[in-house]
Chain A
Amino acid sequence: MKPFAALLERLAFTQARGAKLALLQRYFAATPDPDRGFGLAALTGGLRLATARPAQIRALIATRTDPELFALAYDYVGDLAETVALMWPDGDPGAGPPGLAEVIGALERASRPEVPARLAAWLDCCDASERLALLKLITGGLRVGVSARLAKVALAGLGAGRVSVEEIEEVWHALAPPYGALFAWLEGRGERPDPAGAPSFRPPMLAHPLEAEDLARLDVAAYRAEWKWDGVRVQLAAGPGGRALFSRGAEDMSAAFPDIVAAMGFAAVLDGELLVVREGMVAPFADLQQRLNRKAPSARLLASHPAGVHLYDMLFEGEEDLRALPFAARRARLETWFARVRPARMTLSPLLTAADRATLTALRDGAREAGIEGLMLKRADSPYLAGRPRGLWWKWKRAPLSIDAVLLYAQHGHGKRGGLYSDYTFGLWREDGVLVPVGKAYSGFTDAELLILDRWIRAHTIARFGPVREVEKALVLEVAFDAAQRSARHKSGVALRFPRISRIRADKPAAEADRLATLLGLIGHADD
């Protein structure tokens, strides 16, 4: 437990990719099997453990601490696992913490009601840093900013050049924790593990954002245009050996999308966008978010929020690897294949016609529909390359919209931003001079701005409702967002897509903030 806890603690504060890689590599090199393999699985989301609910953790700490002191401490720290880790009384210093393999083995076998008693026994043998690692593991939220991809890059580093990260990804889904065969292969002690027909993830090709200078140089005729869908990029891999739906980061999402997996009765690897689609219409991203939040969706959710995929590329047809073919040829193969197979829940993402830069610009600026974020531009002759090669694929998001809104309420952040007021409800002026809430934002600001906002909120609170503070209607925030959509669920009648704080407008009096009517005028033309 100790090396894993030390790793998590460093990762939690490390931003730079190179430093994260150094920390991961050192952990993999210095930690013995099977602990390092379980550590890898914990970092990459490869564990299925009995977890504990927050209510169980609260009940546990109530047996060891004064409830009033716990409430004061939790209000200050803002994160349940961290508060418990810091407050838990030190147990027997001689006992020493359990090994990671021991913890994970026990949790794999345990049922949920058995977890608290085991957890308490372990916490008694741990120091504060180990307690936090244990609690994060058991509450299912490590959140240390390590993607599966990054962990694999670190593993490739362990192989000292013998094995590339792409090779690791191709065998990855045939492996299971604690990854003994993988480490043996990386360290030159064993054979390459055989994926044996199991659906495996292929590293996707990614696009660069298109900047003004790129547009000026763009040879429009050499590119094909598609809508940039406001969903989640997915890879569908199916064949005789099985079916899997992968996220862009190689996470296996199959369990959360049984409706898609059921429609994958084919042998191919496809690239596309996962969306909620009702009667052919793409629903706003918030609808997809409800599906993404559920690891095991109910029948009711499956019916009310049906998933679909807009397909745009084909990597394999059967066993045949198409990735070296130019985009135009892969697209032709995809269209022919699609016409023949006609998989349910899937459609082809249409190619758009744009002969020149002006048409292209008009298309992108007109893209205000719920499901569309902008344009994708792909070179007709581009092979399918892993990673983000320059100049082949561009993403061209429509310009963000913005409003000047008044801060109304603030709430403590949890986890990463625990204890600081980082969750803001803002509003606009209605015709009758009343400020109505139009949205919430909890990102976009810098760490320095967060401290300024936190201090302002504490000094200007006029009422408290549990964790929520109502503040003086005096601070204007510039809020950027991707789209405004009509919504019956919001008092203001409008919902914002991805609102974030782009600036603190301390210079602007609240009376001069925007009117609600201004925002209503920005609602996507699809609704008109």
Chain B
Amino acid sequence: MTAPAAETWLKVRPEGLYCVPGDFFIDPLRAVPRAVITHAHADHARPGHGAVLATAETLALMRARLGAAAAGASQQAAALGEPLTLGGVRVWLAPAGHVLGSAQVAMEYRGRRVAVSGDYKRAADPTCAGFEPVRCDVFVTEATFALPVFRHPRAGGEIARLLASLALFPGRSHLIGCYALGKCQRVIALLRQAGWQRPIYLHGALMALCRLYEAFGVPLGDLRPLAGAAKADLAGAIVLAPPSAQADRWSGRLADPVTALASGWMQVRARARARGVELPLVISDHADWDALNATIDETGAEEVWVTHGAEEALVHAASRRGLRARALRLIGYGEEGGEADGAADGEAP
């Protein structure tokens, strides 16, 4: 007996990707009765669902960001790699390496296996569990940075550029724009790894999530609120803020700041210039072009579905390797919180 093709039981609906026999959506774009959530960024974890299945970390982050009432009427935590059965579908979560708690969703139905990557990266990240490839028949992949110009440099090298700038301009504050969930904590952890033990000052929007990371066992060192900091202490200090807050009035209190932005989009100069950034740092929480292609091959999938980003290039590259590849054209990811077009929106993790 041949296994039923994946598209007969996993479908694109207006609400998002729907598993028919399991009766649940993955990262639905609007409120649904049953949702499996890959990670807590706002474009993937939307408010108002009925039952929500996710990792314990993702559920905690959702409660912190959306409020307990909007983070799902009922929440069920699943440990990574621990399978459960929903309407005849074996479902389990595997680490995605994107942010704390991020997971891929693996599904097996009548002998056919599909893995949905969610957002993911392959580069090492001290703040979350590393990506593990899932052998599967169909791999549903993100494609945020799916152009061959996106080949992210080592994050450690970007941090070294930041520290070199601090040495050259010791009197200037270095204001780093970074998304509140994930990028902020990773930049802090990378700075600590590089030996920067001085206090790091945070915009108010970032502190709560840093404390939550620490509660899950990710130490971040001496963090201080920017509000109330003396101007003299901010000279030569590292200050983190959400990208949209860079032009806020309070940034005028900083000492002649060097404005930096930590984002994969910073790889393209016109995008960095359009953001008015003086020190673009190419630090991304997504897979780059090489990693996207290598991961597709590692899963052993013979079929690739591309969800959101630059689908055209990835579909072309996968097809050239003899894989069946198609774009799902899910509209709505990357509009907020995701790393969609960093030049066009206010947030770019």
Q: Which chain A residues have a beta carbon within 8 Å of chain B's beta carbons?
A: 10, 12-15, 19, 22-23, 26, 65-66, 68-70, 72-73, 76-79, 82-83, 86-87, 127-128, 413, 416-420, 447, 450-451, 454-455
* CB-based contact B273/A76 at 8 Å: no
Q: Which chain B residues have a beta carbon within 8 Å of chain A's beta carbons?
A: 147-151, 153, 165, 168-169, 258, 267-280, 310, 312-313, 316-317, 320, 343-344
* CB-based contact B151/A447 at 8 Å: no
* CB-based contact A69/B344 at 8 Å: no
* CB-based contact B274/A23 at 8 Å: no
Interface centre among B150, B169, B268 (most CB of A within 10 A): B268
Residue of A nearest to B320 (CB): A66
Residue of B nearest to A15 (CB): B278
Residues of chain B lying within 8 A (CB to CB) of residue A451:
274, 343-344
Give CA–CA (A418, B269) in the complex, Å.
Answer: 8
Give CA–CA (A69, B148) in the complex, Å.
Answer: 7
Give CA–CA (A76, B149) in the complex, Å.
Answer: 9
Tell whether A420 pairs with B153 under 8 Å between CB atoms, given A22-B168, A72-B312: no
Chain A interface SS verdict (over half): helix
Residue of B nearest to A419 (CB): B270
28 A-B pairs within 8 Å (CB atoms) are namely A10-B279, A12-B269, A13-B278, A13-B280, A19-B258, A23-B168, A65-B148, A68-B316, A69-B148, A72-B147, A73-B149, A76-B268, A77-B149, A77-B268, A79-B269, A79-B270, A86-B151, A127-B153, A416-B273, A418-B268, A418-B269, A419-B268, A419-B271, A447-B273, A447-B274, A447-B275, A451-B274, A454-B343
Residues of chain B lying within 8 A (CB to CB) of residue A87:
148-149
* CB-based contact A76/B147 at 8 Å: yes
Tell whether A73 pairs with B147 under 8 Å between CB atoms, given A447-B273, A451-B274: yes
Closest 7 CB pairs of A and B: A86-B149, A418-B270, A73-B149, A419-B270, A72-B313, A87-B148, A73-B147
Looking at the assembled complex, report how far the CB atom of B207 sits from the nearest CB atom of chain A, in whole angstroms: 28
Residue of A nearest to B272 (CB): A13
Residues of chain A lying within 8 A (CB to CB) of residue B267:
86
Give CA–CA (A77, B165) in the complex, Å.
Answer: 26
Residues of chain A lying within 8 A (CB to CB) of residue B165:
10
Give CA–CA (A128, B165) in the complex, Å.
Answer: 20
Looking at the assembled complex, report how far the CB atom of A225 sits from the nearest CB atom of chain B, in whole angstroms: 41
Give CA–CA (A70, B313) in the complex, Å.
Answer: 9
* CB-based contact A420/B149 at 8 Å: no
Contact partner, B310, options A13, A72, A83, A455, Cβ 8 Å: A72
Residues of chain B lying within 8 A (CB to CB) of residue A23:
168
Give CA–CA (A116, B273) in the complex, Å.
Answer: 30
Residues of chain A lying within 8 A (CB to CB) of residue B268:
76-77, 82, 86, 418-419
Looking at the assembled complex, report how far the CB atom of B306 sits from the nearest CB atom of chain A, in whole angstroms: 14
* CB-based contact A26/B147 at 8 Å: no
* CB-based contact B320/A447 at 8 Å: no
* CB-based contact A69/B317 at 8 Å: yes
Residues of chain A lying within 8 A (CB to CB) of residue B278:
13-15, 19
Residues of chain B lying within 8 A (CB to CB) of residue A22:
168-169
Tell whether A420 pairs with B147 under 8 Å between CB atoms, given A68-B316, A73-B313: no
Give CA–CA (A417, B272) in the complex, Å.
Answer: 10
Residues of chain B lying within 8 A (CB to CB) of residue A68:
316
Residues of chain B lying within 8 A (CB to CB) of residue A83:
149
Tell whether A73 pairs with B148 under 8 Å between CB atoms, given A26-B168, A66-B320: yes
Give CA–CA (A72, B150) in the complex, Å.
Answer: 12
Known: A12-B269, A12-B273, A82-B269. 19 other contacts (CB 8 A): A13-B269, A13-B273, A13-B277, A66-B316, A66-B320, A72-B316, A77-B270, A83-B149, A86-B148, A86-B267, A86-B268, A87-B149, A417-B270, A417-B274, A418-B270, A419-B271, A420-B274, A447-B273, A454-B344
Residue of A nearest to B247 (CB): A448
Interface centre among B270, B279, B312, B343 (most CB of A within 10 A): B270
Give CA–CA (A65, B151) in the complex, Å.
Answer: 14
Tell whether A128 pairs with B153 under 8 Å between CB atoms, given A26-B168, A72-B147: yes
Looking at the assembled complex, report how far the CB atom of A455 sits from the nearest CB atom of chain B, in whole angstroms: 6
* CB-based contact B270/A416 at 8 Å: yes
Give CA–CA (A12, B277) in the complex, Å.
Answer: 10
Give CA–CA (A493, B273) in the complex, Å.
Answer: 36
Give CA–CA (A322, B35) in the complex, Å.
Answer: 84
Interface centre among B148, B150, B279 (most CB of A within 10 A): B148
Looking at the assembled complex, report how far the CB atom of B159 sits from the nearest CB atom of chain A, in whole angstroms: 15
Residues of chain B lying within 8 A (CB to CB) of residue A73:
147-149, 313
Residues of chain A lying within 8 A (CB to CB) of residue B312:
72
Looking at the assembled complex, report how far the CB atom of A419 sits from the nearest CB atom of chain B, in whole angstroms: 5
* CB-based contact B317/A420 at 8 Å: no
Give CA–CA (A455, B274) in the complex, Å.
Answer: 13
Give CA–CA (A14, B259) in the complex, Å.
Answer: 10
Residue of B nearest to A418 (CB): B270
Looking at the assembled complex, report how far the CB atom of B331 sits from the nearest CB atom of chain A, in whole angstroms: 13
Give CA–CA (A83, B313) in the complex, Å.
Answer: 15
* CB-based contact B148/A19 at 8 Å: no
Residues of chain A lying within 8 A (CB to CB) of residue B147:
69, 72-73, 76
Tell whether A128 pairs with B151 under 8 Å between CB atoms, given A79-B269, A418-B269: yes
Give CA–CA (A19, B258) in the complex, Å.
Answer: 10
